[in-house]
Amino acid sequence: MITGHLCMPSYSEPPTPLRDDDYLYTSLETSSCDDLENIHSYIKSGVLMSARFNCLRKKREEIARFLKNHADDDLSNHINSLRGFARSNGGLILDQYRAQIWPVLARRLVTSAEDEDVDDHDGYSFVSGTNSSVELSLAQNTMETEEEDCLRGHPEWHQVELDVNRTLARFPPNISDDRRYTLQCQLTPLIVRVLRTNPRFRYYQGFHDVCLTVLLVCGVETAFEVCRSLAHHGPFRSYLLKSLEDSVLKELEFLYVILSRVDPHLERVLREVRLGTMFALSWPLTWFSHSLNEYQQIVRFFDVFPRFTTSNPYIRICCNCSQKEICNINM
């Protein structure tokens, strides 16, 4: 019987430093970085590289202009434009834009009929796009006044804390030890608060990777709102409510079916060596944040989480199949 606490290997060392050509591939091919100004020094030649850099710069300027023009608006009224930025080439480009846009996208996740049975038991209503600023303030004040001793009484606290203490390699290399320690101290209570919003939620190893990515981008207060929405209406809902056998492993059964259509040779090789699907388990559970070495790649994947909701879980498996391109698997 496979339970929600199925162990996945943790990184024990930071990834190997990138070569110049790898840096270009990571920064320009994934089109997501916080150091656009520094990319130019890496571009030694090539019209294609220059064109990609210019496209990133133009999109960054376009997003900045959009946010400035609508600074006094409710961004939920412009949800289609925000979704367009997130899913088009380059994604949301910078974390400062993600911190503004991810909460809006999270509040407007497309939900399915099975989401209607969401059972909230956290003492206050979920802050949706239609809630007033007073309700938002009350929710935040409630979070701030919660005693950690109460959270420590949650049955999942110990397991969450163990996983959080193993997240060293998940932090970007430019984060100081003090900042990393602060984030780790915030991460465990954040996850347990999300779990408390539905008594049926059961923590699985890997959900801490999801919450850490959101925490790094949004900060602890906004991260709770985003993670809560992802847990209730996003791609991680079924993993928190069901055993891994009845959720993610069933989804991964379709991986070989899709591969047989898009890459028959790879599908044949994988079947011949009887690889199974366990090698891909962490991809949907952590939305690739446990598997990709580069922070820029991880946040680029998270830009498109509104498209991978419970309304169509098999779209996620299509993305899992395309992971072979990201990892440069050469069979």
* Cα angle for residues 103, 193, 288 (degrees, 5° grid): 60
Alpha-carbon distance of 102 to 302, in angstroms, equals: 9
Contact indicator for 254, 317 with CB cutoff of 8 Å: yes
pLDDT value at residue 320: 56
Residues 309-328: b if buried by 16+ CB within 10 A, e if exposed: bbbebeebbebbbebbebee
Q: Pick the closest to residue 299 from 209, 197, 169 (CA basis).
A: 209
Alpha-carbon distance of 60 to 91, in angstroms, equals: 10
- The pTM of the full predicted model, rounded to 2 decimals, is 0.74
Which structure tokens are listed for 34?
């916080």
Provide the residue-wise pLDDT of the chain in tens; the chain has 331 residues.
444 444 443 322 233 333 333 433 444 434 444 444 444 444 445 677 788 788 889 999 999 999 999 999 999 999 999 999 998 888 999 999 999 999 999 988 765 444 444 444 443 333 344 444 444 555 555 555 556 778 998 999 999 999 998 887 778 778 888 999 999 999 999 999 999 999 999 999 999 999 999 999 999 989 999 999 999 988 789 899 999 888 888 888 888 888 888 888 988 998 899 888 888 888 888 888 887 878 888 898 899 875 554 445 556 666 655 554 444 333 3
Alpha-carbon distance of 257 to 200, in angstroms, equals: 32
The amino acid occupying position 303 is D
Alpha-carbon distance of 227 to 305, in angstroms, equals: 11
The DSSP annotation for 233-283 comes to HSTTHHHHHS-TTTTHHHHHTTHHHHHHHH-HHHHHHHHHTT--SGGGTHH
The amino acid occupying position 167 is T
Alpha-carbon distance of 25 to 248, in angstroms, equals: 30
Alpha-carbon distance of 148 to 166, in angstroms, equals: 21
pLDDT value at residue 114: 45
Contact indicator for 50, 273 with CB cutoff of 8 Å: no
* Cα angle for residues 35, 38, 40 (degrees, 5° grid): 125
Could you give the angle at which helices 314-326 and 255-262 cross, rounded to 10 degrees?
60
pLDDT value at residue 113: 44
pLDDT value at residue 149: 79
Alpha-carbon distance of 116 to 232, in angstroms, equals: 10
